Structure 1
Amino acid sequence: MKRLIAACCIIVTLLCTGCGVNYMNSLYSKDDEISSDTNSFSLDKDEQSIDGQAYTGKLEFEGMDTIWKYNAEDDMEIELSYLLSVSKGKAKLVLIDPSGKLETLVENKDKTIQKDMETIKMSLKKGENRIKLVASNKAQIELKLSVDVGDLNNIGFNR
């Protein structure tokens, strides 16, 4: 009888803890989920603003959320300026083309502090292109983005 009770307690504990797997953290390396149209995240702290075509934010974030969208009429190339500092955890910005192909634009890990904005060229395909912020381990992030085209969005539900 004691063994049965102990076995039940172990099973209940495993079910309640999910075997120690944090779903938001697991998204970081799942390209098929990142490239989907869905967003899934945990946002604990945020200070965000959008001024024209420039986004600024300080976040404690894990999971993934779409921060930029643009429906290109033709294949084209644009410039994106960014600053991605990560004082805890890890974070990356990924470009998703209309076919769902994913390209990591920048990835920074624990204690990577970027002082100045950097500019990169991005090749966009005809159709809807998106950039997602993806992070894990309750990443503490400072993010700045500047792009001449498309729609910038705050991270989270208050868009």
Structure 2
Amino acid sequence: MKIKKMLGAGMIAVCLMTGCANPMVAIYDNDIKIASNTNSYNLNNYEQTAEDGHFTASVEKMEGMDTIWVFDAEEDKSLDITYTINVSSGKMKLVLINPKGDVSIIAECDTEMSEPIQSTLNVESGNNRIKIVAGENTKFDIEISIQEGEFKELG
């Protein structure tokens, strides 16, 4: 009888702990969720600007994912992208989602970058998106420039 009570209490404890898990943190490694048309995030204390091919944000805490750039390409093309990411805590990645829903990592970071990175973004004909994906309690600053497409604000 004593063993049954202990097993029952243990099962209840396990159920309670798994029920309290943060679903935003589970998004970080889930490409199916990242590729979806939805955004799901916890976002606290942030400042940002999104205009004229340039996006900047300073975020005290983010978990989950949010779309920051969209581009409806008439044909396959290459775009220049310049970015700087400084992560003070946690981890984050910048991902490109093509029209087929394939996710490719532009940058993944858990520290500060010393220099801006210049790269080429290969977009396909159709709707292309960039999302910020943040792990648990991620604090970061980011600057991105892309001369085509439209930047969206976080939140």
Normalising by structure 2, we get a TM-score of 0.89
* Alpha-carbon shift at residue 75 of structure 1 (Å): 0.4
* CA distance, structure 2, for counterparts of residue 51 and residue 72 of structure 1: 19
Give the Cα–Cα distance (whole angstroms) in 1 for the partners of residues 77 and 62 of structure 2: 31
Give the match for residue 96 of structure 1.
Answer: 97
Q: Are residue 115 (structure 1) and residue 114 (structure 2) matched?
A: yes
What residue number does 2:63 align with? Answer: 62
The residue that corresponds to 1:106 in the other structure is 107
CA distance in 1 between partners of 2:26 and 2:152 (Å): 24
Contact 2:52 2:147 in 1 (8 A): no
After superposition, the CA RMSD in angstroms is 2.0
Q: CA deviation digits over 1:12-69, x for unaligned, max 9?
A: 6555543553211110000011011111000012011123211111112110000000
Match of 1:22 in 2: 22
> What aligned pairs does 1:73-84 form with structure 2 within 5 A after superposition?
73-84=74-85
Contact residue 58 and residue 142 of structure 2 kept, 8 A: yes
Deviations 1:84-105 (A, max 9, x none): 1111000000000000011000
| Runs of at least 5 residues in structure 2 that lack an aligned partner in the other structure | none
Alpha-carbon distance between aligned partners in 1 of 2:127 and 2:115, rounded to the nearest angstrom: 29
| Alignment partner, residue 39 of structure 2 | 39
Aligned to 1:49: 49
Give, in whole Å, the separation in 1 of the partners of 2:20 and 2:7.
Answer: 18
2:81 counterpart SS class: strand
Percent sequence identity is 32
Moved over 2 A (4+): 1-21
Q: After the TM superposition, which of the residue ranges 20-29 and 132-141 deviates more from structure 2?
A: 20-29
Cα deviation digits, residues 95-146 of structure 1 (max 9, x gap): 000000110000001xx11233211101100000000000111100101111
Q: Counterparts of 1:75 and 1:9 in 2: how far apart (Å)?
A: 58
**Unaligned ranges ≥5, structure 1:** none
Distance 1:27 1:150 in 2: 25
- 2:124 alignment counterpart: 125
Letter matched to residue 37 of structure 2 = D
